[in-house]
Amino acid sequence: MNMLKKGELYYPSSTTRKKAWVKNKNIYQEANKDPVLFWEKLARELFWFEKWNKAFEHKAPYFKWFLGGKINITSNIFEKNPQGWEKIKKKTALIWEPEPTTEKPKKITYRELFSDVCRFANALKKLGVKKGDRVGIYLPMIPEVMVAMLACARIGVVHSVVFSAFSSNSLKVRLQDTEAKVLITADGYWRRGKIVDLKQSADEGVKETKVEKVIVVKRAGNNVSLDSQKDLWFHEIVKNEKDFCEAEPMDAEDTFFILYTSGSTGKPKGVVHTCGGYAVQAYWTGKWIFDFQGGDIFWCTSDPGWVTGHTYTVYSPLLNGITTLMFEGAPDWPKPDRWAQTIEKHKVNIFYTAPTAIRMFEKYGAALLKKYKFKNLRLLGSVGEPIDESSWLWYFTEVGKKRCPIVDTWWQTETGGILITSLPGLGPFKPAFAGLAFPGVQADIKNGNLVILPPFTPGMLRGIYKNPQKYEETYWSSYGKDVYFTSDGATRDKNGLIRIVGRVDDVLKVAGHRLTTGEMEDAINLHPNITESAVIGVSDEIKGEVPVAFIVPKENSQNLAQEVLAQIKKEIGPIALPKQVFVVDDLPKTRSGKIMRRILKKIISREDLGDLSTLANPESVEKIKLVVQKNQAGFIIALLNIIFITAGIAAIIIGLLWSTGVLEQIPGIFKH
């Protein structure tokens, strides 16, 4: 892996290849001959209380895997870990790096984690939480998020993790849909040197839900109000619990977790994953794609509030018996090299992050990382959005030091685990290309769109919670009931490597986070003074894509744009804030009333608008163009003002120093 030219293929070095789990490309042939048999073979390496009696069943658009099998993912993480419990129990399972640099990192062994999980599982049982019940988890990146997820899994309770930066309203919608009985949250957490009061959002979020108890982890020590009927401290309820709890044998097709994600409409969808297939896919994709070896320290930077955090911060590394790292804070806090320091300090071997983070560090400049050798790093990963060629090359050179292959991994909340990427011991790697489908995955491209064909994969979704119609419409209507439509555009090169072009629906990937234009519009439209709105995604140098909003007010008022921003923050959270809000009189529509977001996009990017005669209100377009131009001109004027003012102030200061003779004191300057 030492040449560096755009568009070229890279192959792993012989050392990487020798160490890799998969060295022979015949694996693809073997898997494709009979994918069901192949996955069955892989599934046998996990511990099952009872083996399945049928490997795969397909009643389109529904499918099942390992029917009749009984499993618990936590037995496979702890006492029945495929690597052997005796071998791993004293090993560090989790390294936790808190945000404040004054606080010490925590290292938790598999044995300790197992005890913590069992104690909390017993405490949950005591609260009356039973197999099949739903529990909400609204926690930051602290060890208890892992403990809470695993404790639910231990007793067969369905967890639904809600990203801690989501607003109380987002939490409420999810808790209402799952009808969760219990919510697990924290007093607060650290973000950019400040404490975020999570309990306050949780209190708002549980209103008008079926949540009976709120369990609060004491993390930041901020003052919180406790409701004596409802709230319980985490540390108090686990204090006297036994450190063993029997694992609940779960049917392979029982629901394991529900994770909400943005679809093409405003309402988030509860993606349902099941116990057996998810465990198999999480175990094997991690093992083969990241080449997990006994002593590895793996850092997946994703928050468990997202699917990447579920599968690759928590479940996959633990199933593989290696050490996973979790960092509480912001990547560049308190200094831009915090991540680099963390990689060095904890001797991270495999680093897995999103292109947004890569672009952000790239912008800080190469000097930032020059002093870091990253001696322990041997593999890099990318996920969540397309990585462009130049960021790929920067990542490869400055972080991987031209030594580490990059696995660009394509997958979705719905797929549960990675489906497309080249394997580290085989390659080939090509900048901006995810690569080949994982062995046993039948991926195809139909009219430029990526689809997955039967038998799909064991870890893929089984439905949308309480909404079969949405499931059928979203994934199984574009190409028929037996073709899974990913909503991603894709191409394939002559080597068969797949490149993901991006979403073809209304989903935006903002800094790798999945949001829809529909949910943002719904949030905006709740404002009493808004008639209608349209949100589009425009490309952004760092975040990949950012939202821009067009709003039509009932009456124009001065602070409307600010109010709209506040409204979005309240309804969804700060990650969904539009970069710009344009107040307009009307939105371009077809005669049937559909808003033409495509035209708005072209106005922003100053592209040719083409034929507008099919619009019901073509005159709206010129007016919007004027608003946008005025705004863009306003921005340039503001920028020029800042430059002139700064230059003016500098000139005054230099003048003053000159007149007082101070400058003449400085050696080498203005000596005459």
Binding interface with ligand PRX (CB under 6 A): 261, 307-308, 382-386, 408-413, 434, 486-488, 500, 502-503, 509, 514
CA distance 267 to 272: 16
CA distance 429 to 497: 9
Collapsed DSSP state (helix, strand, coil) of residue 621: helix
In the bound state with ligand PRX, the residue whose beta carbon lies nearer, of 137 and 564, is 137
Q: Are 425 and 417 in contact (CB under 8 A)?
A: no
In the complex, the smallest distance separating the C-beta of residue 395 from ligand PRX, rounded to whole angstroms, is: 13
In the complex, the smallest distance separating the C-beta of residue 507 from ligand PRX, rounded to whole angstroms, is: 7
Residue corresponding to tokens 């979705």: 412
Q: Which residues contact 40 (CB under 8 A, 6 or more apart)?
A: 55, 66
In the bound state with ligand PRX, the residue whose beta carbon lies nearer, of 249 and 502, is 502
In the bound state with ligand PRX, the residue whose beta carbon lies nearer, of 134 and 310, is 310
In the bound state with ligand PRX, the residue whose beta carbon lies nearer, of 451 and 599, is 451
In the complex, the smallest distance separating the C-beta of residue 423 from ligand PRX, rounded to whole angstroms, is: 15
In the bound state with ligand PRX, the residue whose beta carbon lies nearer, of 412 and 533, is 412
In the bound state with ligand PRX, the residue whose beta carbon lies nearer, of 313 and 487, is 487
Q: Which residues contact 473 (CB under 8 A, 6 or more apart)?
A: none
Q: HSE-up of 70 (CA within 13 Å, CB side)?
A: 6
Collapsed DSSP state (helix, strand, coil) of residue 631: helix
In the complex, the smallest distance separating the C-beta of residue 608 from ligand PRX, rounded to whole angstroms, is: 27
In the bound state with ligand PRX, the residue whose beta carbon lies nearer, of 391 and 620, is 391
Question: With 0-12 CB in 10 A as exposed, 13-18 as middle and 19+ as buried, what is 504?
Answer: middle
Around Cβ 432, how many Cβ atoms within 10 Å?
19
Question: With 0-12 CB in 10 A as exposed, 13-18 as middle and 19+ as buried, what is 362?
Answer: buried
| Strand partners of residue 182 | 135, 213
In the complex, the smallest distance separating the C-beta of residue 159 from ligand PRX, rounded to whole angstroms, is: 17
In the bound state with ligand PRX, the residue whose beta carbon lies nearer, of 158 and 354, is 354
In the complex, the smallest distance separating the C-beta of residue 67 from ligand PRX, rounded to whole angstroms, is: 27
Q: 399: which DSSP letter?
A: I
In the bound state with ligand PRX, the residue whose beta carbon lies nearer, of 409 and 533, is 409
Residue corresponding to tokens 């073979």: 41
Q: H or E element: which one contains 562?
A: helix 560-571
In the complex, the smallest distance separating the C-beta of residue 31 from ligand PRX, rounded to whole angstroms, is: 21
In the complex, the smallest distance separating the C-beta of residue 485 from ligand PRX, rounded to whole angstroms, is: 11
In the complex, the smallest distance separating the C-beta of residue 501 from ligand PRX, rounded to whole angstroms, is: 8
Around Cβ 38, how many Cβ atoms within 10 Å?
17
CB-based burial, 126-160: b 16+ in 10 Å, e otherwise: eeebeeebbbbbbbbbbbbbbbbbbbbbbbbbbbb
In the complex, the smallest distance separating the C-beta of residue 670 from ligand PRX, rounded to whole angstroms, is: 55
In the bound state with ligand PRX, the residue whose beta carbon lies nearer, of 268 and 384, is 384
CA distance 290 to 399: 16
Q: HSE-up of 393 (CA within 13 Å, CB side)?
A: 10
In the bound state with ligand PRX, the residue whose beta carbon lies nearer, of 195 and 575, is 575
In the bound state with ligand PRX, the residue whose beta carbon lies nearer, of 234 and 283, is 283
CA distance 463 to 256: 12
Q: 437: which DSSP letter?
A: B
In the complex, the smallest distance separating the C-beta of residue 629 from ligand PRX, rounded to whole angstroms, is: 32
In the complex, the smallest distance separating the C-beta of residue 113 from ligand PRX, rounded to whole angstroms, is: 25
In the bound state with ligand PRX, the residue whose beta carbon lies nearer, of 333 and 484, is 484
DSSP string, 282-339: HHHHHHHHS---TT-EEEE---TTSHHIIIIIIIHHHHTT-EEEEE-S-TTSSSTTHH
In the complex, the smallest distance separating the C-beta of residue 490 from ligand PRX, rounded to whole angstroms, is: 9
Q: 430: which DSSP letter?
A: B
